[in-house]
A and B are shown apart, each in its own frame.
Chain A
Amino acid sequence: MNFRFILLILLLILSYIAINPQFDTDGAAIRQVERGSPAAIAGIESPTGAVAPTQREVIQSINGQPVLDVQNYYALLLGLSPNQTFALQTNEATYRITMPERPENASEDLFLDIGLTVYEVPSNNIRKGLDLSGGTRVVLQPEERVVPEDLELIIDNIEQRLNVFGLSDIVIRSSRDLAGDDFIIVEIAGAQQSEVAELLANQGVFEARIANQTVFSGGDDIIFVCRTPDCSGIDTRQGGCSPAQGGGSACRFSFSITLSQAAANRQAQATNALSIVSSPGGGASLSEPLDLYLDGELIDSLSISADLRGRPVTDIQISGSGSGATQQLAIEDSMANMRQLQTILVTGSLPVSLDIVKMDSISPVLGAEFVRNAIIMALVAVLAVATIIFIRYRRLLVSIPVIVTMLSEGFIILGFAALIGWNLDLVAIAGILIVVGTGVDHQIVIIDEALRKEEKARSWRERFKRAFFIIFAAYITTVVAMIPLMSAGAGLLRGFAITTIVGATIGVLVTRPAFAAFIERYVHEDDD
C-alpha cells in the first residue's frame, strides 16, 4: 500500500482518538461548583478549563435514580426535601450531599440548590468557541501601556476575581495587536453574565477614609472578608429594603470584615481626633463618618458609634446599597453589588484600570442552532461540488474520492483542534471553508493532469510534479496571506488564520497527495 494512504489513514485515526466521539451522553456534566455550597462541602470540585470536554465529571444518578439529562437532574433535585442527605453518583465518585435548609419565610416553591452548574454531556472533545457554545466574552484594554509583568498580574487578578465570584470554566489570555496595544480577552463559557464585565474592568482601589484621611484600603489591610449568609447579606437591622425616592425600591447590604492590627491602629488614631455628636437617630456618634470609596467614587458613608473612638477594633461592618424597580430586583441588585465589593476586597486592586472595549453575550440556543446549520451547510456544499465534478467527468471513481478528501480535510482539522484544545469559533469555520474550497481546486488540477489525453507518454511522476507545482504556489500564497492576520486587531481573527494555515498544510502534505495516489492507482485515462 502506498505510504500516502497510510499517512492519511493514520492521521484520520489520530483525529478520531483526539475528537473521541461519545455515543452515550446520558447524565449531566459539571461545569461549576459554587464555593461554600452543599456540593462543594461534599467535596465536588470545579473542573478547570484545561480538562478535555469528554473527561469532565458527569452526574450519573441521584439516590439511585439515573440522571438522563440536565432537565432530569433538576427534576430529581426538586423531589428532595430540605436538610435531606442524598447520594449523588458521578463517573468518578459518590458524594453524600445534604440539601440546604429552607430559609425562614421563604415560599414553598423556592428552588433549593446544592450549588452545581450543569450542562449537557459533551459528545466529543472539540471545544466550541463562545460563538457556538454561548457564553460571555469581554475584551479589556489597559487605560495606559503596561509592562508584561503588570499584564501577568492583571490576568492573575482577573482569574482570581472570577474564581471568587464563582466562575471557573474561563479562558483568560492577553493579545498584542499590530500597533503594540495589549488586550486581555476573558471568555466565560456557558454563562451569559454581562454583570461580570464591570467586575473585571474595575481597578478595584478600595479605600476607607475618615475626614479624608485613608485609614485602610483593600488588599493587605483586610485579612478576612465574610461571604457566608451568617455575616453577610441584606442588612435588616438598618431597615433592609425601603421604597426609593422617585419610585422603585432600594436595599442595603452589609458584611463583616477583619482588619489587620496595623489598619485597626490607624483607625484608632484617626477616630481619636474626632469629637462626639448626637446622631439623628438618637444615640451618640463621632463627628466624621467612615467614607468608603471604590475607584475614587464614594459608595457609602457610615456613621461611627461613639464608643469606638480611639479603640483599635479589627472587626467592622462594610455596607452599601442597591436599587431596582421592584423589591425583588432591588434585592438582586444589592446582592450583586455586595458580591462585587467582596470580590474586590478579597483580591485587591489592579495596577491600572481597564476599559471594556468589547463585550459579547452569546445565547447558547443560537450557538447550538448555528452548529446544526453549519453542518448541513457543509454537507450540502460538499455534495454540490461532488455533483459538478461528476457532471464533468461522469465517473463515481473520481467524484467519491473528492468527497472523501474534502471530508477528511475537515475531520483532520477538527482532530487537530481537539488535540491542542483550541476553541473552534465562527471564524475558524470560515477557515475550514477556505481550506476545503481551495482543496477542491487542487484536486481538480490533479485530476486534470492525470486524465489529460494528449500526453500519454509522460510518466505519472512528472504529471504529479506539475500538478503539485501549481498546488504549492497556491498554498504558499494562501499561507503568506494569513500570516499578518495572526495578530491584527486584538487577535480576533487569529482562529481564522491558524485554521487556514494548519488546514492548508495538512491538505498539501497529506490529503491531496493521498488523493493523487488514489487517482494514479485506480483511474486511467483509457478507462472511458
Chain B
Amino acid sequence: MGKKKKKSVLEQKKADTTKRLGIDKFYHDYYKQLLIIPFVLLLLAIIVIGINFAQTGMLVQTGVSLSGGLTLSVSLNEPMDKLALEERLREELPNDLLVRETVELGVQRAITIQAAPARVDEDLLALEGQVISVVTEFIPTLSTQDYTVEIVGPTLGQAFLRQTVFALIFAFVLMSIVVFYYFRSFVPSFAIVLAAFSNMVITLAAVILMDIRLSTAGIAAFLMLIGYSVDTDILLSTRVLKRKEKSVYDRIKSAIGTGLLMNASTLAAITASLLITRSEAIQQIMIILLVGLIVDMINTWIQNAGILRWYAEKVESEGGRK
C-alpha cells in the first residue's frame, strides 16, 4: 500500500515538470484562484434569491399550474396577432395575464394564455368562458377541438408546490446519503453535494432573472438536474479517488475528457429539443436543464475538481510521507 502511494507521488512530481500551455497551464496553476468563480456565483445567486424573496415573499415566481389559475392553449392554422390579443384580453379582464406564442422552427404554431384568478374565490370555469369569448373575436371558427384548457384550483396548486419542494429536498438528502455511503470519505462526498446544491441554487437564481414562471414541469426539471449533475461529479470523484496511476491532475484531466463529452452530448440533445418542441412544459424543462448544465460544468470542473484536487494531493502526499 505504502509503496503504491510513494510511486504515485513520484509520478506526480514527474508530471509537475511537464510543460503546460494555454488553458491547461492556467487550469493547472491557478485552480485555487479559479475556485473563486463558483463561490462568487453561489453568493450572487443567494443574493438574487434573497432579494426576490424580500420583494415577493416567494422563492420563485410560479405559473398557474402551481399557484392556481387557467391555461388556455389554442392551436393555430394561420398566424395571429399576439399583441392585439393580449391588449384585448387586458381590456376585458382584471386578471394577471401572460400571453405567449409557441414557435416551431420559426413558424407560429400555438398561442398560450395564462390567467391567474383575480380573487381567491373567482369561478375559474366562468373565467374560461370570458377568455374564450375574447379569443373567438380573433378566431371566429374556434371550436372545442382547437383548444386545451387546464384549470388548477389555488389550494391544489399550493399543496402541489409545497409537496414537490419537500420532495425535492428529500431527494437531495437521499442523494447525499448515497454519495456519502458510496465514497465513505467526507471532503469528496461533501464536494459532490456542494456542487449539486450550487447547481440548484444558481439555476434557481437564473430562473428568477429570466422571469420564468415555474410550472410543475419546471419542478421535474430541477429533479432531473440532480441526476444529471451528479453523473459527472461521480465520474470525477471515482477517477480521482479509486485510481492511483499518474498524478491527481492527470486523473482530473482524464475525467474532464470524458465528462465534457457527456456535457456536450447532453447539450446537443437539449438544444435540438428546445428548437423543435411545441410543448410549453417541455420547453421549460429544457431551458432549466440547459442553464443547469452550463452551471454544472463550472461547478464540476472548477469547484468540485478544485476541492478534490486540493484534498487528494494532500492525502496522497501525506500517504507518501508515511
Contact = CB atoms under 8 A, between A and B. Distances in A.
6 contacts: A178-B166, A359-B149, A370-B278, A473-B230, A476-B182, A485-B164
A469 B238 CA distance: 8
Interface of B: 73, 75, 104, 109-110, 124-125, 128, 144-153, 155-156, 159-164, 166-168, 170-172, 174-175, 177-179, 182, 216-217, 219-220, 223-224, 226-228, 230-232, 234-235, 238, 242, 245-246, 254, 257-258, 261-262, 264-266, 268-273, 276-279, 281-282, 285
A490 B278 CA distance: 26
Contact of A480 (B155, B160, B166, B171): B171
Given A373-B279, A489-B163, A357 B152 contact: yes
A491 B122 CA distance: 25
Contacts of B231: 438, 441-442, 474
A506 interface: no
A469 B226 CA distance: 18
A360 B269 contact: no
A455 B271 CA distance: 35
Contacts of B153: 355-358
Given A358-B153, A477-B178, A483-B174, A430 B258 contact: no
A448 B175 CA distance: 25
A376 B281 CA distance: 17
Given A366-B75, A388-B264, A430-B282, A477 B276 contact: no
A476 B170 CA distance: 14
Contacts of A440: 262, 265-266, 269
B163 A488 contact: yes
Contacts of A484: 166-168, 170-171, 174
A150 interface: no
A389 B265 contact: yes
Interface in A124-146: 134, 139, 141
The 5 closest A-B pairs by CB, nearest first: A489-B160, A480-B174, A484-B167, A357-B156, A481-B171
Of B124, B170, B235, most buried by chain A (CB within 10 Å of CB) is: B235
A358 B156 contact: yes
Contacts of B148: 134, 360-363, 366-367
B269 A381 contact: yes
Contacts of B234: 470, 473-474, 477
Given A466-B242, A474-B231, A485 B266 contact: no
Of A367, A369, A448, A481, most buried by chain B (CB within 10 Å of CB) is: A481
A411 B257 CA distance: 30
A363 B231 CA distance: 38
A366 B110 contact: yes
B153 to A, nearest CB: 4
A485 B171 contact: yes
Nearest to A197: B125
Contact of A492 (B124, B160, B179, B265): B160
B247 to A, nearest CB: 13
A444 interface: yes
Given A357-B152, A437-B266, A476 B167 contact: no
Contacts of B238: 466, 469-470, 473
Contact of B145 (A139, A363, A442, A445): A363
A279 B148 CA distance: 51
A426 B279 CA distance: 9
Contacts of A376: 276
Given A359-B125, A440-B265, A489-B156, 8 more contacts: A357-B152, A363-B73, A373-B279, A377-B273, A426-B282, A473-B179, A473-B234, A484-B167
Contacts of A360: 148-151
A426 B150 CA distance: 14
A195 to B, nearest CB: 10
Contact of A139 (B125, B156, B257, B264): B156
Given A474-B234, A477-B175, A493-B219, A384 B272 contact: yes
Contact of A380 (B150, B226, B272): B272
A496 interface: yes
A30 to B, nearest CB: 20
Nearest to A469: B238
Given A141-B156, A427-B217, A470-B234, A445 B178 contact: no
